[in-house]
Amino acid sequence: MRRISVFGATGSVGANTLDLIRRDRDAYHIVALTGGRNLAALTEQALEFRPDVAVIADETQLAALRAALAGSGVEAAAGRAAVVEAADRPVDWAMSAIVGVAGLEPGLRVLEQGATLALANKETLVAAGPLVMATAGSHGATILPVDSEHSAVFQALRGEDPASVERVIITASGGAFRDWPVETLAKATVADASTHPNWDMGQRITIDSASMFNKALELIETHEFFGIDPGRIEVLVHPESLVHALVGFNDGALMAHVGPPDMRHAIGHALHWPERRALPVERLDLAAIGSLSFRASDEVRWPALRLAREVMAAGGGAGAVFNAAKEQALDGFIAGQIGFADMAGVVERVLEKLSKMNGGAAPLGLDAIMVLDQRARQEAQRIMDAFER
Ligand code: NDP
């Protein structure tokens, strides 16, 4: 029986992971399920899946979790340290689906066990790519990408000689403003940016999609995970969101991964890897779809892409600064403190200001990364506070 933990079980990726596990329940022993604040969802999952431990990150809810799980045989724990400790419990496979930099340390602990980490959490590779890859390497652990673009690249590379790869292309829907004239973007409201042309997702990721900060994070993840030179990674706008990524080889072949926009494909691929097993996702009818379209990405319309390239060139702690500054700028935009088009400028100024703290190209440890994360948030807030005056 495979021992499995799901970090961020109560979120969208976590719930989709449990949906796949539920279909073959007897094959798994669930070690830990963790949630952030959603006590009701965590309780329901714990009573269904009977993990060894259920952990809620919000420590004020420990007594309520204990009461809800009384008599079930499931241990209850709470707090940030308890989430990290849960990652020390031996497993064969774990899902990293906590949102934000809080997902970094549990993921590192799973890698230190030498286990397999299915990685959805974007911040892990953006903020700490060199540390994470080195930790996996030194402990014989495996990382499997879960973001659909990276899973697509991973699948297209299967069985190929890395030396034959010329380029990697990740696609982007283009978000809410792909057809807006560039000069009108400064006037975009939070409501405008919170509407995605293709998907109904959470507000923050929808705005990150409109600004392409989400794609910028994915560019950095592609570089860190696959070790591909930034100059050979391209972003292609593909409004239908059915081709997730393409890999170009030295004989001119482009291997494209085409699939439905359903996270259970990438999650299921990581869950069953190295096998392929039947998954409950839609089978695409390309004749009915008829046509797919592509257009070049544009670093003037989406300056986040330019900043991602600068971050990759800088290395060291630049990714941690970029991620944290972007989170704070997004908070500022949602709160009405800055405009949509100001977000990239705020991030750029924080990157400039903290460039001396990046530590050059040397990989940083976890503590140094967390210090940079905090400094970048403070600096971004300081810059935005000055906007109001
Ligand atoms: P959700 O917001 O739906 O879920 C996030 C999970 O993290 C929840 O379980 C939440 O708990 C938990 N959480 C939040 N804050 C903390 C904290 N401080 N400590 C511990 N746990 C916390 O996010 P998604 O499932 O959509 O995404 C998860 C990650 O995967 C993100 O990094 C995202 O960028 C990435 N990703 C998501 C994709 C998607 O399609 N959704 C695609 C590819 C990557 P609770 O809800 O109980 O508060």
Taking the centre of ligand 1 as the mean of its atom positions, its distance from the CA of residue 138, in whole angstroms, is 27
What residues pair up with 311 in beta bridges, in sequence order?
none
Residue indicated by tokens 């005056």: 389
Tokens of 92: 């064969």
Q: How far apart are CA 214 and CA 171, in angstroms?
A: 11
Closest approach atom of ligand 1 to CA 39: 47
> In whole angstroms, what is the distance from residue 123 CA to residue 105 CA?
11
Distance 98 CA to ligand 1 centre (A): 4
Residue with tokens 């500022």: 332
Kindly state the greatest CA–CA separation across the chain: 62
Distance 41 CA to ligand 1 centre (A): 13
How far, in Å, from the CA of 164 to the mean position of ligand 1? 35
- Give distance in angstroms: CA of 206 to centre of ligand 1: 14
Query: Cβ atoms within 10 A of the Cβ of 78, count?
Result: 23
Identify whether the C-beta of residue 311 lies closer than 8 Å to the C-beta of residue 220.
yes
* Distance separating alpha carbons of residues 100 and 122, to the nearest angstrom: 8
> In this structure, what are the phi and psi dihedrals at residue 100, rounded to the nearest 5 degrees?
90, 180
Residue to mutate, 38, 43, 59, 98, ligand 1, most ligand atoms under 8 Å from C-beta: 98
Q: Left if phi > 0, otherwise alpha if psi is -120 to 50, otherwise beta: which for 139?
A: alpha
Residue 262 Cα to ligand 1 middle (Å): 16
Residue 118: the pLDDT is 98
| DSSP per-residue string spanning 29-91 | EEEEEEESS-HHHHHHHHHHH--SEEEES-GGGHHHHHHHHTTTT-EEEESHHHHHHHTTS--
Q: Which residues of the chain have pLDDT under 70?
A: 199, 358-362, 388-389
List ligand 1's pocket residues with C-beta within 6 A: 8-14, 35-38, 57, 83, 97-100, 102, 120-122, 147, 202, 263
What beta strand segments (E) does the chain contain? 2-7, 28-35, 53-56, 75-78, 93-96, 116-119, 142-145, 165-172, 233-237, 243-249, 254-258, 295-296
- In the prediction, which pLDDT does 361 show? 62
Query: 75: which strand partners?
Result: 53
161 CA → ligand 1 middle, Å:
34
Closest residue to atom 20 of ligand 1, CA basis: 36
pLDDT tens digits for range 11-44: 999 999 999 999 999 999 999 999 999 999 999 9
102 CA → ligand 1 middle, Å: 10
- Measured between alpha carbons, how far is 42 from 48 in angstroms, rounded to an integer? 10
pLDDT of amino acid 197: 77
Predicted pLDDT at 388: 65
How far lies 358's CA from each of 85, 321, 346, 355, 372, in Å? Answer: 29, 8, 18, 5, 8
pLDDT at 346: 98
- Whose alpha carbon is nearest atom 8 of ligand 1? 11
Ligand 1 atom closest to 214 (CA): 34
**pLDDT tens digit sequence for 328-377:** 999 999 999 999 999 999 999 999 999 877 666 667 999 999 999 999 99
**Three-class SS state of 196:** coil
Q: Whose Cα sits closest to atom 26 in ligand 1?
A: 12
Burial 87-109 (b: 16+ CB within 10 A, else e): bebebebbbbbbbbbbbbbbbbb
Ligand 1: nearest atom to the Cα of 120: 30
The pTM for the full model equals 0.96
Cβ neighbours around 287 below 10 Å, total: 6
For ligand 1, atom 32, the nearest C-alpha belongs to 121
- Which atom of ligand 1 lies nearest, measured to the CA of 10? 9
**Bridge partners of residue 235, in order along the sequence:** 170
The whole-number pLDDT of residue 362 equals 67
Nearest to 209 by CA among 286, 149, 255: 149
- Take residue 110 and report the two structure tokens written for it: 């799973």
Which of 7, 12, 126 to probe ligand 1 with, by most ligand atoms within 8 A of CB? 12
Beta bridge partners of 78: 56
The number of C-alpha atoms within 13 Å of 360 and in the hemisphere containing its C-beta is 1
